[in-house]
Structure 1
């Protein structure tokens, strides 16, 4: 069996930054790997070399999913070159090692172990592009083409070692355009309406939204408590509960004004908010626009919060196998960020995210993944597949 750290190193060395999003090379590596195991696959590409791979055969009750695109990396600040895939000090180093070529490597290594043991693969495999920019050419494209059928799905995204992720906050991105009334700058605020200041007034309201709490199901209270504790430990921040229970926001881009002595006639604001369970996105937007009478929405991207039932047998199975390998109790948590899970859940999949990775290094310099984490993830994935094989045999 090829070691997952070697597979991970190989994949890191195959560049697949997004943008531009070209993934034909890592997909070819994966297809060749699966061909060697006698596992058939089909590649689906969109313009620009944005390629995805799905294994062929009868639909399976379980699916592994992973993305092969990575965020860009500058050369500066790295201990080892970001696309070297160096294996050193108990880690595989490089862009994508944690997010999430390490998880992809563990899937492939587990599949090889199963095949070498003479067992049939009880899972569909889907390796996709474009996760880092919304999935339009990746998971969303495969769903639109009816390539994937709803089933239990494990996405090998990096996660805390003892905590599979069963849900995530919603996402609301707004591109807002503010229009003011120009005038001589020396007379403002007595004359004119400044589009820049109107944007600032809205941001003051958005900041107040973070203080608002929202109702959520009592069954989630313990999961939210556990999740908050994990976030506080992983990211070294206080008030970890606010990540999940409240609207978090980022005014990512703001630009406006025409000249320093003219009251600004135009201002553009790109705003992103992460939406907790219990918050109605449409009501949230209505409140925002009531506080922005001089603004219009140029573009909006909305995704509701998503959740896999924490009491379902799939969650129990994954937690049981994590406990068996990690040697400590495992429990599900909710996720703070967005991923392909939201698209799959909306299409009827029961989705869990669990994979190897150093969370503090995601999208950062010196991204890395522990070799020991890769090996344990491989074992967990193998045990999950064996459990699904046993289910198929019993039926």
Structure 2
């Protein structure tokens, strides 16, 4: 089975999160590895949240991917998001880019290395819930000490010539504001609005966003390279602001009782991305001080992370990318992934994988067959380098 057909097969096995079951997909991967004679183990959690790790001895490299995908509504798609159709040079469907294409390319590369007569010194970890924070996936596997710190390659989608070597920090919280109800005709002289308290916090976050956090000398070249990449992918000018400023999104707000009552309650789900040089503790305190009547529940917290550019995994992946594409330009990631948990545990991590980045989590998600085949070529080289 070639890598495009393998990607298609993975897409056709549904693994939306929520609801979060990956049991069928993990079983398929287990059968694929069984056919290669590779020992593996399924680590299960309630709701079919299954992970798979391989257990062959002598591993020097961890190959990691998540098998859950965000939900897709089929309206407006050119091809059904669960079809995995191969057409017009692409594999189409939810997860094609994020990141069943990358998982398929890892598996195909590993198979090719075995069939060439080389014993791969690499371990797999396919995890169930990267899209919802990794509680039952990478965080659970790390908590159980199922693998030791080592070099790690995650097949997250990246630009074709640009491995990701670091990512901003993350502060994700739920805030429950409490107000004091009253008749709306007397507000703001009577009552205290929980909804307006939420907007006061947003005003504060706008002020925080306006302040840049200049990178240190070691990061300046990476920030400049990343800004160029953002411009090429998204058409965003001034992309350095993405990496040097606090970015925030009040992704969900709901509150109040009715129009003529001063709102007694309001809930906000807030996502904040933290640049290098910004104190996460200071940011936490600032949010708490500007939401004094809110109960704050932290759901995901991580400092910015970075794998040193001279680390072996960075040098190896860049060498293989340059061999296939002619050049390699590392960059810093604007989003978050399982890499943050692995780096916190002492892993040197690089993310590199195939995908059409603008279609990530979007309508008509797809990955080109050419990118898949070149990713396999890169992965083969990386696996061989760690298997000598």
Q: What TM-score does the superposition give when structure 1 sets the normalisation length?
A: 0.96
CA-to-partner distance for each residue in 1:301-343, whole Å, 9 max, x for gaps?
Answer: 311111111122221111111000112x212111011111111
Which residue of structure 1 aligns with residue 51 of structure 2? Answer: 52
Distance across 2 between alignment mates of 1:30 and 1:351: 23
Preserved CA contact (<8 Å) 2:120 2:384: no
Q: Could you list the runs of 5+ residues in structure 1 that have no partner in the other structure?
A: 391-395
Partner of 1:304: 303
Q: Aligned partners of 1:354, 1:301: CA distance in 2, in Å?
A: 23
Distance 2:212 2:296 in 1: 25
Q: What SS does the aligned partner of 1:302 have?
A: strand
Residue of structure 2 in register with 1:98 after alignment: 97
Match of 2:359 in 1: 361
Pair 49,296 (structure 1): closer, same or farther in 2 beyond 3 Å = closer
Q: Which residue in the other structure is 2:190 paired with? A: 191
- Segments ≥4 residues shifted beyond 4 Å: none
Is the partner of 2:318 in helix, strand or coil? helix
SS at match of 1:78: coil
Offset, 1:215: 4.1
Look up the match of 2:66.
67
Q: Secondary structure at the match of 2:134?
A: coil
1:59·1:149 contact (CA, 8 Å) conserved in 2?
A: no
Worse overlay, 62-71 or 232-241: 232-241
Name the structure 2 match of 1:292. 291
8 Å CA contact 1:60–1:151 kept in 2: the answer is no
| Counterparts of 1:140 and 1:290, CA distance in 2 | 30
What is the TM-score of this pair, normalised by structure 2? 0.97
CA distance in 2, matches of 1:299, 1:352: 27
CA distance in 1, matches of 2:146, 2:226: 33
Q: Tell me the equivalent position of 1:278.
A: 277
Local SS of the residue matching 2:219:
helix
Q: Distance in 2 between matches of 1:379 and 1:361?
A: 23
Residues 1-395 of structure 1 aligned to structure 2 (within 5 Å) = 2-327=1-326, 329-390=327-388
1:117-172 Cα shifts (integer Å, max 9, x gaps): 11101111111111111111111111111111111000001000111001111111
Contact 2:130 2:337 in 1 (8 A): yes
C-alpha distance in structure 2 between counterparts of 1:299 and 1:357, whole Å: 31
Q: Which moved more, 1:258-267 or 1:116-125?
A: 258-267
Measure the CA separation in 2 of the matches of 1:123 and 1:312.
18
- Kindly state the Cα deviation for residue 292 of structure 1 after the two structures are TM-superposed: 2.4
Point out where structure 2 has 5 or more consecutive residues left out of the alignment: none
Partner of 1:393: none
Q: How far apart are residue 293 of structure 1 and its match?
A: 2.8
Whether the 8 Å CA contact 1:214–1:245 is kept in 2: the answer is yes
Q: CA RMSD in A?
A: 1.2
Q: How many residues align?
A: 388
2:76 and 2:312 map into 1 onto residues whose CA distance is: 45
Indicate conservation of the 8 Å contact 2:171/2:298, yes or no. Answer: no
d(CA) in 1 for partners of 2:136 and 2:146? 13
